[in-house]
Structure 1
Amino acid sequence: MTRSLRRDLYAVGAAALLVTAAVLVGRHIQDTSRTLFVDWPPLLASWGPHLGPGTPAAVLLALTTVAYGPTLAARLPWRTLLPLTWGAATAWIFSLALIDGWDRGIARRLTTRYEYLQVIDRFDDIPAALRDFTHHILLDSPDNWPAHIAGHPPAATLTFVLLDRIGLRGGGWAGMWCITVGATACVAVLVTIRALADETLARRAAPFLVLAPAAVWMGTSADAYFAAVAAWAVALLALSVTRRSLWWSGASGLLFGLTCYLSYGLTLVALIAAAVLLLGRHGIREHPALLVPLLAGFVVVPATFTLAGFDWWEAYRLLVTRYHQGAGGIRPYGYWVWANLACTVLITGLATVAGLRRTGAALLSRRADTPDRTAEPRLALLVSAALLALLVADLSGMSKAETERIWLPFAVWLLPSCALLPHPRAWLIGQVVLALLLNHLLLTGW
């Protein structure tokens, strides 16, 4: 066993201990004080071993991808690899969701009392609803919004309102939207890695992006859709600075603006964007005009909502109050500040833990901005920016519990660290075993 592999296993062992501690300590806190508001800490889930119609498909897809995924990812033409990756990721998410059955696993996910489809009829007059949005955020306000509507800017809810308007009504269509769009996040990450690091690393990362344990929560959660929008904003920015494209720059700015109006916490994607600009700074220096369409595109969505009467800053201020009015004000920060990291281990898998260990080694071994820079430190810088964003979200105290879905937009950027690992099939087996165990032993919810 090499020294590097031994260190990987030490990191994996430490992560396993972290998860074990989060389960045991969380169980004790919940049993004694009942302040965590989760049934199976650190996850918002309950114990419920089960099989479902998605079980055979999930197992077959996992075996096939582990056996052939790394080879196909290395050999297929790039233009073939991208849609195949999206298709495989969609199938993986869909099959995992169907382990709980169509109704519970997909159709009812976005129709619960906390979710977006509960308020579709309150947006018959969209401009009026936007002007009145902030008046219903606080718990003691009249007709207060359900938790997820109050907890996000209105672009999140409007997505499902517009789906309803075009005839894609109900939880089934909403769930399929989140799955199919959310699965494109892995393609956006591959595009970014190829543009900023190199194609070989992107190809090595592809099977890990497909078989991520995070797929358990991407089907069906609106956060999967948010993750895709944010990922494409970053990907288009990477294309703009490497190809000197004004069009890609403007499109990236537009998606960054939309990202901020889908989720308040996704303003932290700016840290990943900063890493992209740092890695692509030569393109910016040669063509500083790229910043003009980027900024112009960025203001489109905020200007539209502001003119419609929605005040983002006021809404966020009220959300902080609402957060502390509910379970967020009771859940102990001292537990969740580290238990959230255990959640991250569960959604990204032990392979990602080892990958992050190698990410740190790559950063320390050679600076990403030296003249003889290589692809690995450039990938490491991008992954580290995502990790930093996640840690800031953790320390903020506004992410106590449910981070297994809330942090999906950051988690997808940690998975490419697995491209640094040797023996990918062995690590992939660990990833799929974890995902299958989580989905078959626990009943997840949010």
Structure 2
Amino acid sequence: MRMVPLAPQSAVRRPVAALTVAGLLVTAAVVVGLLVNAHHPGLLFASAAPLFGDWKPHFGPGTPAALLIAFLVVAKGPELAQHRFALPIAYVTATLWTFSLAMIDGWDRFVTRLTTVDEYLHEVPGVTDVPAMLRGFSDRILDFQPDSWTTHVSGHPPGALLTFVALDRIGLGGGAAASIFCVLVGSLAVVAIPKAVNTNAVLPFLVLFPGAIWVGASADGMFMGVAAVGIYLLTRWPLLGGVVLGWCVFLSYGLVLLAPLAIVAAGRRIGWAVAGALAVVVAFALSGFWWLDGYELVKVRYYQGIGDIRPYWYWVWANLAALALVIGPAGLRGLRKDKWVVAAAIAILAADLSGLSKAETERIWLPFAVWLLAGTARLDKRWLTAQAVTALAVNHLVLTNW
């Protein structure tokens, strides 16, 4: 009779301990958030803290589709991950999963998330001269001026606004096109990461990534896809990957923290990656925008608004509770001494301690968080089920702002 070796007790205890700690962290963040919101309304500026949204159990037209996709991925995902066309199948499925989650909140909400007064599309009609916009971009970052940029435009380098201006110029203006674009680009992470880490076994877990809730639709979801493609390119063509990551730094100041992942991806060829990134920096500088000037002004702008109100003492640990919901139980179970996971964790820790990531990290940290799923390759279908349950529970209980 063949004896099956038992796993060492320490190997069993580690994931149990990690999940227990994460569960306690999420519970504490929710309870403390409820108490603070009850006694100090407006302090956290997040009704469903640690998530930015409102407690509102609801269903929508996307509910049946999301349930069906989750069932199919759990049942067939690991098998299809070995299919000849695994990557295109995964991309299409991830796109449908993200879209179905968004439709739980409804089409009207999906197409208006990027059109509010705080968002990028609000500024697109006013950009009639791109070179002039770049030259004067920094002058409009600080608040309380007649021509101050709207919140999201002021909080990011001009690359993000330029992206939506370009969409408008080619006839894809408006909220519907912008939101669909973010989903399509964001879903590229699902195929870029397996190529970078060199295993398709992570595909089903990336497809059912709970963070997809915030990919549909936020610009940060789009940033996630661009960043993942850039990091993958570093593993093959570091100069080209450097150019893409250089562009990322002009989508969001925080994406400079992709550096640990870039170092892992490029290895000894990091010099080529740096050269590619510097080419983008020089191009923007010659166009009139200097990244460091913008960053210094953004730090001031951050504390001109709700960044000054939200308490660091709560968000410095509640951010991590939000992260646990973004990566799901499988992401937590897969946390290990993997170079990709460690690099992503370093980036997240730096962002958290900076004080410039107080709340809304469920979308802001997407470009880093998705890489924590690189450690899920050896997990079984039970963990896929846990991912689906997490995403569906969060999306149906909380009406998220993105």
The TM-score with structure 1 as length reference comes to 0.86
Aligned match of 2:386 in 421, 430, 433? 430
8 Å contact kept, 1:164–1:170: yes
8 Å contact kept, 1:122–1:129: no
Aligned match of 1:297 in 269, 276, 286? 276
Residues 261-295 of structure 1, C-alpha deviation per residue, up to 9 Å, x if partnerless? 00000000011111224xx44xx4xxxxx834x34
Aligned match of 2:94 in 74, 89, 94? 89
Count of matched residue pairs: 394
Q: CA deviation at 1:203?
A: 2.0
SS in 2 for 1:162: helix
Aligned match of 1:205 in 202, 207, 222? 202
Aligned match of 1:28 in 35, 53, 63? 35
**1:382 counterpart = 2:340:** yes
Q: CA deviation at 1:441?
A: 1.3
| Amino acid aligned to 2:330 | A
| Amino acid aligned to 1:54 | G
CA distance in 1, matches of 2:91, 2:12: 30
Structure 1 counterpart of 2:258: 269
| 1:211-222 aligned within 5 A | 211-222=208-219
Aligned match of 1:391 in 349, 366, 369? 349
Q: CA deviation at 1:382?
A: 1.4
Residues 280-315 of structure 1, C-alpha deviation per residue, up to 9 Å, x if partnerless? 44xx4xxxxx834x3442223222211111121111
Q: CA deviation at 1:256?
A: 1.3
**1:225 counterpart = 2:222:** yes
**1:339 counterpart = 2:318:** yes
CA distance in 2, matches of 1:351, 1:296: 36
CA distance in 2, matches of 1:6, 1:208: 22
Aligned match of 1:135 in 124, 127, 139? 139
CA distance in 2, matches of 1:260, 1:92: 28
CA distance in 2, matches of 1:225, 1:351: 23
Structure 1 counterpart of 2:3: none
Structure 1 counterpart of 2:154: 150
SS in 2 for 1:443: strand
CA distance in 2, matches of 1:399, 1:44: 13
Structure 1 counterpart of 2:308: 329
| Amino acid aligned to 2:244 | L
Identity fraction in percent: 50
| Amino acid aligned to 1:236 | L
Structure 2 counterpart of 1:367: none
8 Å contact kept, 1:43–1:404: yes
| Amino acid aligned to 1:335 | Y
8 Å contact kept, 2:65–2:100: yes
**1:120 counterpart = 2:124:** yes
Structure 1 counterpart of 2:62: 54
Structure 1 counterpart of 2:22: 15
CA distance in 1, matches of 2:144, 2:208: 43
CA distance in 2, matches of 1:82, 1:398: 35
8 Å contact kept, 2:158–2:251: yes
CA distance in 1, matches of 2:18, 2:279: 44
SS in 2 for 1:46: strand
Structure 1 counterpart of 2:12: 5
Structure 2 counterpart of 1:440: 396
Q: CA deviation at 1:416?
A: 1.6
Q: Give the RMSD, CA atoms, in angstroms.
A: 1.4
Aligned match of 2:375 in 410, 414, 417? 417
Residues 102-139 of structure 1, C-alpha deviation per residue, up to 9 Å, x if partnerless? 111x2111001111000011211111111111111111
8 Å contact kept, 1:110–1:174: yes
Structure ranking higher in helix proportion: 1
Unpaired segments of 5 or more residues in structure 1?
195-201, 240-247, 285-289, 364-379
CA distance in 2, matches of 1:143, 1:111: 18
SS in 2 for 1:440: helix
| Amino acid aligned to 2:340 | L
SS in 2 for 1:329: coil
8 Å contact kept, 1:109–1:221: yes
Aligned match of 2:78 in 66, 70, 84? 70
Residues 223-259 of structure 1, C-alpha deviation per residue, up to 9 Å, x if partnerless? 01111111111101112xxxxxxxx222111101101
8 Å contact kept, 2:328–2:390: yes
| Amino acid aligned to 2:66 | A
Structure 2 counterpart of 1:99: 104
8 Å contact kept, 1:151–1:319: yes
8 Å contact kept, 1:236–1:249: yes
Aligned match of 2:247 in 232, 255, 258? 258
**1:41 counterpart = 2:49:** yes
8 Å contact kept, 1:260–1:266: yes
The TM-score with structure 2 as length reference comes to 0.95
CA distance in 1, matches of 2:274, 2:372: 27
CA distance in 1, matches of 2:235, 2:332: 25
| Amino acid aligned to 1:40 | A
8 Å contact kept, 2:328–2:387: yes
8 Å contact kept, 2:340–2:374: no
Q: CA deviation at 1:169?
A: 1.2
